[in-house]
Structure 1
Amino acid sequence: MNTLIENIGLNADLLIYLAIDITVAIILLGFMKFISGISAQVKANDELAKEDNFAFGISVAGSVAALGIVMTGAITGENANSYLMEIIGMFSYGLFGLILIKVGRIVHDRLALNEIDKTEQIKAKNVTVGIVDAASTIATAIVIRAVLIWVHGIDIGTFVAIIAGFVVSQAMLILVTRIKEKQYARNNQGDSLQEAFANGQVALAIRYAGQVISTALAVTAASYFMVYSPDTIVTTLFAWLIFSIVMTLLVALLTTIAKKLILWGINLVEEVDQQHNIGVASVEMAISISIALILTALMA
């Protein structure tokens, strides 16, 4: 017990930083739920509890989880110069991350899934679209977190780098969505993936979640190789984009091989695309994310 007390005494600053970070995080996470209701033009509590809108709940859960992921990149702990700088840093990066998450959702709505109205679909309690929305939001947050950890300091240069990293993430998510749309159409006599989402095919949404999250993890791998410097930020971020494309292709290739081996004897197109097998889709999602995690860990 004495040892524990001594350790706590020696780490009093750490406890104060912890209290600051947790307090700011709770405030911003609560604000995220409020903002989610405004953007969907509904009252969040009513939609969650009175209307029992599971799709909205899943979408909000994705947004809250995404902000939590971003906040982990904003935490500096004892590396901060003062308690005030920790508060400023957490609020600044947290609010900026919240804004980027919401902008990312708009970009995904307008450019990636441009054939359906996600907001209306979620209000109509389409769980499939809720899952797709949550997955894309979390994927965006994973990249933002990587950029937050990559940069250092709080100045114009760091925010420019964060925005540029955000642009890279959105470009990759749009690219992956287009590729998966073409793949789905080829395997299903020209049918539309977005229309399948609108029709409530949950298995496809689960598979898609694995694909976009694994893509985001592949994009973050570049942060282990690129050295942050405000003077070469344009060149570095262009290299990040090229590296992200290579890593995304590598993850896709390894995931395809892994699926064929792990799910040997199972016709994935028939089970997921046509029979809407949620179990098989869940395994696909797990394989996609696992391969991306393993590969990025090796890169680190």
Structure 2
Amino acid sequence: MNTMIELTGLNQELLVFLAIDITIAIILLGAMRFISGVSAKVNSTDELAKEDNFAFGISVAGSVAALGIVLTGAISGESADSYLMEMIGMASYGVFGLILIKIGRIFHDRLALNQIDKTTEIKARNIAVGIVDAAGAIATAIVIRAVLLWVYGLDINTFIAISAGFIVSQAMLVLVTRLKEHQYAANNANNSMQNAFAQGQVALAIRYAGQVISTALAVTAASHFLTYSPDTLMVNLMAWLLFGIVMTLLVAILTTIAKRLVLMGINLVEEVDQQHNIGVASVEMAISISIALILTALMA
């Protein structure tokens, strides 16, 4: 054991910190599954294993992945001064992130997708709505993780910053949803995108997932240009919002160009909106996320 530690350059103290972080992370990830069942007013075990509700499984998977993303933001910081403070810090960030993910689902339901009842649709095995729900949770988590990496310390200002970053993420999700609704209506004789989700259009849900996740990635680019300071917190967070809007528009423009090149000769409205082509929608999602990842990497 000592030889392995010497070879890897790790010390016993660091290994203890890693053990603390991974233990708390696994406990919280396990808790997320059961919390998802409570919030949906179902038994998660029955819904997943006995009822074989794929939509619920996708929704839970999104929540678990979202929490994992948030926890990487907590783990990536410097180790605390003591084991106890590490436990407190990791647990605090993790529980707070879990709460924000669940609150984000409520915001997404009531503000972004306010024309459908996601809980009812997921219970009814609507896979499209399950995908949309998972994407919203993951998008929220991506922004929360960026804020966790941006701030430092463990005080009231830290949690204010995280909460404000959460609000920015929800504002961007609502904005993107409204823009995509307008675009969908213009291309489909004023039909409603939300009604299409309720009707189970999986291809459209996959495309939307790519759009909201790429938007979240675009918003995180602001963290590379702004310096965290409790004294200028609100100014910086307004800058996050404005920068996020600019980056979202830039990602949208570049994604449109990339789609026309990668999917040249394919009518995207006809294939995805009307023929529900999951394959084409998956390529669209991959292009959206890829462009956002490349752009944010360049900004870093």
- Please state which band the TM-score falls in when normalised by the shorter chain: over 0.9
Q: How much does 1:2 deviate? A: 7.8
TM-score, scaled to structure 1: 0.98
Paired residue type of 1:163: S
CA distance in 2, matches of 1:140, 1:10: 34
Please say if 1:163 is aligned against 2:148: no
Asked whether the 8 Å contact 1:14–1:77 carries over to 2, the reply is no
Tell me the equivalent position of 2:197. Answer: 197
Cα shift readout 1:50-82 (whole Å, capped 9, x = no counterpart):
000000000000000000000000115653211
> Compared with structure 1, are the counterparts of its residues 186 and 77 closer, same or farther at alpha carbon in structure 2 (3 Å cutoff)?
closer
The alignment covers a number of residue pairs equal to 300
Alignment pair present for 1:217 and 2:225: no
The whole-number CA distance in structure 1 between the counterparts of 2:114 and 2:145 is 26
The letter for the 1-side match of 2:153 is G
Q: Is the 8 A contact 1:37 1:44 kept in 2?
A: yes
Q: Post-superposition shift, 1:5? A: 4.4
> Which amino acid in structure 1 is aligned with residue 34 of structure 2?
F
Question: What are structure 1's unaligned runs of at least 5 residues?
Answer: none
Structure 1 partner of 2:48: 48
Shift of 1:83: 1.3
List gaps (5 residues or longer) in structure 2.
none
* Residue equivalent to 2:145: 145
Whether the 8 Å contact between 1:147 and 1:223 is mirrored in structure 2 is yes
Q: What SS does the aligned partner of 1:79 have?
A: coil
The worse-fitting range, judged by mean Cα deviation, of 107-116 and 72-81 is: 72-81
Alpha-carbon distance change, 202 to 11 in structure 1, aligned in 2, over 3 angstroms: same
Aligned to 1:129: 129
Distance 2:52 2:157 in 1: 44
Change (3 A) 1:274 1:249: same
Q: Shift of residue 7 of structure 1? A: 3.3
Give the CA deviation at 1:6.
Answer: 2.0
Secondary structure of 1:67's counterpart equals: helix
Corresponding position of 1:235: 235
Q: Which amino acid aligns with 1:108?
A: H
* 1:85 shift after superposition: 1.2
Q: C-alpha distance in 2, partners of 1:120/1:237?
A: 35
The one-letter code of the counterpart of 1:251 is V
TM-score, normalised by the number of residues in structure 2: 0.98
Contact preservation (8 Å) 1:142, 1:217: yes
Q: Deviations over 1:173-216 (max 9, x none)?
A: 00000000000000000000000000000000000000000000
Q: How does 1:166-181 map to 2 (within 5 A)?
A: 166-181=166-181
Distance 2:120 2:293 in 1: 33
Structure 2 CA distance for partners of 1:289 and 1:76, relative to 1, 3 Å: closer
Please list, as runs of the form range in 1=range in 2, the aligned pairs for 1:83-98 lying within 5 A after superposition.
Answer: 83-98=83-98
Q: Identity of counterpart residues, as a percentage?
A: 79
> How many Å separate the matches in 2 of 1:26 and 1:2?
26
1:103 aligns with 2:103: yes
1:4-43 counterparts in 2 under 5 A? 4-7=4-7, 10-43=10-43
What CA distance in whole angstroms lies between the structure 2 residues aligned with 1:99 and 1:32? 10
Instruction: State whether residues 210 and 288 of structure 1, in contact with CA within 8 Å, keep that contact through their aligned partners in structure 2.
Output: yes
Q: Using the TM superposition, name which of 182-191 and 68-77 deviates more.
A: 68-77
Aligned to 1:274: 274
**CA pair 11-84 structure 1, distance change in 2 beyond 3 A:** same
Contact 2:5 2:11 in 1 (8 A): no
CA distance in 2, matches of 1:111, 1:212: 14
SS at match of 1:266: coil
| In 2, Cα distance between equivalents of 1:139 and 1:103 | 13
Q: Distance in 2 between matches of 1:198 and 1:255?
A: 26
Q: 1:191 to 1:93 in 2, by over 3 A?
A: same
How many Å separate the matches in 1 of 2:2 and 2:99? 46
Tell me how far apart the structure 1 counterparts of residues 76 and 20 of structure 2 sit (CA, whole Å).
11
- Distance, in Å, in 1 between the alignment partners of 2:56 and 2:165 is 28
Q: For residues 236 and 78 of structure 1, what CA distance do their matches in structure 2 show?
A: 23
What is the RMSD of the two structures over their aligned residues, measured on CA atoms? Answer: 1.3
Instruction: Answer yes or no: is the 8 Å Cα contact 2:221–2:296 preserved in 1.
Output: yes
Aligned-pair CA distance for 1:263:
0.5
Residue 4 of structure 1 deviates from its aligned partner by 3.0
Moved more, 5-14 or 109-118: 5-14
Contact 2:121 2:129 in 1 (8 A): yes
How far apart are the structure 2 equivalents of 1:10 and 1:171?
Answer: 42
Query: Given that residues 17 and 77 in structure 1 are in contact (C-alpha distance below 8 angstroms), is that contact kept between their aligned partners in structure 2?
Result: no
